[in-house]
Amino acid sequence: MSTERVILACEMIEDEVRLALDALPPVGALPPADRPPLVWMESGLHDRPETLQAALGRLIRLLDEGAEKGEPVAVPSVRPGRGPASERREEVVVGPVSEVILALGFCGSALKGLSAENLTLVFPRVDDCVSLLLNDGCAREEIKRNPRCYYLTRGWFNHSSSMIDSFDEWDERYGRERADKLRATMYAGYEAIQLIDTQAYQVEECIDQSQEVADRLKLDHGVVRGSVQLLERLLKGERDSEIVAVPPKEKIGFNHLFGERVN
């Protein structure tokens, strides 16, 4: 088994990643067996950037060892979906590869400090997956994102989400009235719930759930247009000001996110 690239992606944006993969040349005709291997990161890792960073670091080290030895390696992945990640774990045989595509955002400081001895690490220049899906072809600094809005996609309902999962859990633990007060305090800084229409799914499939979240939090509700164009360019191997390629032995830093370059 031999390949040049592997994709590490957050399962929360499964819909969008699969749509972007369908655009790989030849468009719509590249069979799954000929696509880069895909390793899914469990959505729960995003609750703590340091946990996500550690998981990514372990994966990169395994892939780095495979590249050094010129041998395939088995790396941990999950089957995207709801339920405990421990029940969805599997292994994906990858490599040897020379490039790791990180199909996710900077996510706090989750990417900071990651490096490889033999691999190039490539990722989109966005703060997180929300900014990734709101990018319609602009620079990171021009992404139209309202800090008073809480953004959702179908992935928030189809995969484990700390926000969605907490609704029933808090109701059961504290009672509906107290749980509503706690949620009101936690989301006091927001004015609206916005469902991102990324064209990767039918909005009608989850708009009622999104509206229910807004109603429970007593927030306005709306739908905003999103895009997978940056994901498409990332997976196609394009490189520009919004797609960062970090060579072997160099660590990912905030300078990469902010568009600065080290000499």
Tell me if 105 sits within 8 A of 134, measured CB to CB.
no
CB 125, CB 142: distance < 8 Å: no
Tell me what pLDDT residue 263 has. 34
Residues lower than pLDDT 50 in the chain:
1-2, 261-263
Q: What is the pLDDT of residue 31?
A: 60
Q: Could you read off the pLDDT of 58-74 as tens digits, one per residue?
A: 999 999 999 999 999 99
What's this model's pTM, rounded to 2 decimal places? Answer: 0.90
Structural domain boundaries of the chain?
A: 5-125+228-257, 133-225
Report how far residue 250's alpha carbon sits from residue 137's, in angstroms, rounded to the nearest whole number: 27
Q: What is the pLDDT of residue 190?
A: 96
Task: Give the pLDDT confidence score for residue 81 in this predicted structure.
Answer: 86
Residue written as token pair 């007060």: 181
Average pLDDT, the chain: 90
- The answer to whether 67 and 87 have CB atoms below 8 angstroms apart is no
Picking from 1, 13, 12, 2, the residue whose alpha carbon sits closest to that of residue 234 is 13
**C-beta of residue 3 within 8 angstroms of C-beta of residue 11:** no
For residue 132, the model assigns a pLDDT of: 96
